[in-house]
Chain A
Amino acid sequence: MNISEKLHNKYQQECQQLLNGQTGILAVVIASADGFDIASAVTKSLVPARIAAMASSISAIGTVVSQEVSLGNSKSVTVNTEKGFTYITHLELEGKSCILNVVADDSAVLAQIIYQCSEIGKRLNNT
C-alpha cells in the first residue's frame, strides 16, 4: 500500500503513542488487509511483518464467520490467551480497509485498549 511519508509518520506516531501510553502492550501494528505491515511499534523480538500477516488471516476469518451467521460486518477479533491477548480491529485508511492489531500481556486492560483503538480509528479517518 503506497502512502506518503507524512501519513506514514502519522501512523507510526499513533502506534508508538499507544504502546507508550498503556501498560502491558507488546506490539501495535497497522497492516493492510492483505497482511503487509504499514506502521508499527513493538517491544521484545516481535516481528511486525509476521504479526501483520497473522492479523490479516484472523481478521479475514472473522469476516467470513460473521457473514456465515448473518450477524453483519465483523468489527474486531480478540484472542485471549493465558498470558495476555491480541486485539484486532478494522481501520479505514485512505479509503482502504486496513487492520489495527494490538498484542498485550495480562497487565493490560482490554477495555482500555479497545477504547484507544477506537480513538485511533477516529483520528486516522479524519487525517
Chain B
Amino acid sequence: MNEYKLVFTGTTGAGKTTAINAVSETPTIKTDVANTDASLDKALTTVGLDFGQISLTNGDRIRLFGTPGQTRFDFMWKILAKDAFGIIILIDNSRADPLADMDLYLTGFLKELETIPCVIGIGRSEKNPTPGIDDFSIRLAQRNLILPVIPVDVRRAQDVILLIDILMAQTEADMI
C-alpha cells in the first residue's frame, strides 16, 4: 500500500477545510479558532492545519492536509508541503483581486512547485465569472507555468475528487 500526501492551500475562505471535509473518510482534524480579523467575513479560521484521508480502490491512501490561508502562517506552508505529491491552490473568485491571490501562493510555494505537481481550483466563479479561466492561465504563462485551472465548488465531493484525479494524472504523466 502506498501513502500519498496532498496539500490544499489558497485564499482564506476559499474552502480548504470544506474541501477536505467533503471527501475525507475520517472526521477532519481541524485547528480552527475564533477569527478576530475584521477584514474577513468568517467566524472561524484555520491557524495550524486540517487533516483528513481517503482510500483509493487499489488500497493506496491519500492523506489530505490543509494550510492556513493567511501569509502570517506561511511557516506552516513549508512544513506541510514537505514530501507532498501534489498541491491544490484554491482561489476565491469573489475576492477583490483573485489573480493577485494566486500570485501570492505561487510565490509562497515557488520552490515546491519546481518539483511538485499543482492544480488551481477557482471557487465561486459562477456568480463571479471575472477573471475567467483564461485569465488565470495567462497569468500562469507569464510566470512560465503551465498548470491546470478548473472551476470548482469544494462543497461537492466530486469536484474535490476531480482536483485530486487531475493531480494524480499529472504525477503519472511526469513519471513517463
Contacts and interface: CB of A to CB of B under 8 A. Distances in A.
Contacts of B73: 35, 53, 56-57
A49 interface: yes
Given A34-B35, A52-B72, A57-B47, 8 more contacts: A33-B33, A34-B37, A34-B45, A35-B70, A35-B72, A57-B49, A57-B76, A97-B34
A40 interface: no
Give the dominant DSSP class at A's interface: helix
Interface in B1-49: 29-37, 45, 47-49
Contact of A64 (B30, B70, B76): B30
Interface of A: 1, 32-36, 49-50, 52-54, 56-58, 60-61, 63-64, 68, 96-97
B126 to A, nearest CB: 30
Nearest to B34: A33
Interface of B: 29-37, 45, 47-49, 68, 70, 72-73, 75-76
19 contacts: A33-B33, A33-B47, A34-B36, A34-B45, A34-B47, A35-B73, A36-B36, A36-B37, A52-B72, A53-B70, A54-B75, A56-B47, A57-B31, A57-B68, A57-B73, A60-B47, A64-B30, A96-B34, A96-B36
